Amino acid sequence: MFRRLFGKFSKDMGFDLGTANTLVYIKDKGIVINEPSIVAINNRTDQILAVGEEARQMTGKAPSYISVVRPMVAGIISDFEVTEKMIKHFIDRVHKENFSLVPRPRVVIGIPLDVTEVERKAVEDATMGAGASEVHLIEQPVAAAIGARLPIQEPSGNMIIEFGGGTTEIAVISLGGVVTFTSIKNGGLKLDQDIIQYVRENFNLLLGERTAEELKITLGNVHHDSELADRKARGRDLYTGLPREITVNSGQVREAIIKNIRLLIESVRDTLEKTPPELVAEIYQKGIVLSGGGALLRGLDKLIAGELKIPVHITDDPLTSVVRGTGMVLEDLDNLKDLLLPPANDIIG
């Protein structure tokens, strides 16, 4: 009874709880939060010092007693307590300017396709522990397809590549469900590590994660017609231990990341090979849709289209596809409830 009462004063929320970023959609308002999924913790007091962008600014700069962590790994909770506190922080932040002493919102969250029932239950429990009155789960590629306004409830083939921070999920969707899929632990954060490794091997320089991410954003490309201006990068010389600056060009960044991009394309090919021929024929005609932050990698659509001989389209604002999809489900929960996953408690119990 009290949960329903507090729920009337709460704002229903859609979450894209990603490895790299967390986005929050508020019913009737749209996207109100887009922050890194990073939490800074004081290990001496076990207190949360910062969440999101503020915590990201501490990455690589904090003293030993402060841990700056990502509580989500490959879209899965790796630290339950920190994830719960992070979700609570975002729920409280949304309700801060409104009269809601104890916010109890309904929440829709996108989760990866290949999570176990135990991992699904962990997401439900963490969100309920953070203050939600109800938790509804939806598969991330399905949410992304809804956000991209694909006709997934029709009997037709819709192929989407959700290229996130921790995982890339490739799915063929028809009649509201996933027909075939491939999920790989190969996302934007892996490309950052590829750049760090490349610079280490070729320049004997150790870069920080933020510097590698900036190189990926400014110089990242996988097509030869995407040549960009050179950039300076600073790090620690592995021989002397002293600071050093180098110049990096777009060709070097392409060389660093291309191996994992080709693995992604092979995964798309494998998914098509598992797909019923009627759906493949429709995908060949309609094309493949790219979403997620990785969709912004220059030339990725051209490379995939060239390798597979299928048109590739980048959805509008690919970074927000999943959270927009959860928001659209929130706005029409009664009609779209069949797209949601059953509660993990029902399956485990």
Residues making up the annotated binding site for ATP are 19-21, 165-167, 213-216, 293-296
For 9, half-sphere exposure in the C-beta direction (CA atoms, 13 angstrom radius) is 14
- Pick from 155, 217, 185, 170: which is nearest to 75 by CA? 185
- Pick from 258, 159, 276: which is nearest to 216 by CA? 258
**Exposed, middle or buried by CB within 10 Å (0-12, 13-18, 19+), for 308?**
middle
**CA 226, 230, 233, 237: dihedral to nearest 10 degrees?**
110
- Residue 225 in tokens: 């017609």
Annotated binding site: 19-21, 165-167, 213-216, 293-296
Instruction: Write out the H or E segment, with its range, that includes residue 143.
Output: helix 140-147
Q: CB neighbours (10 Å) of residue 247?
A: 10
DSSP 230: -
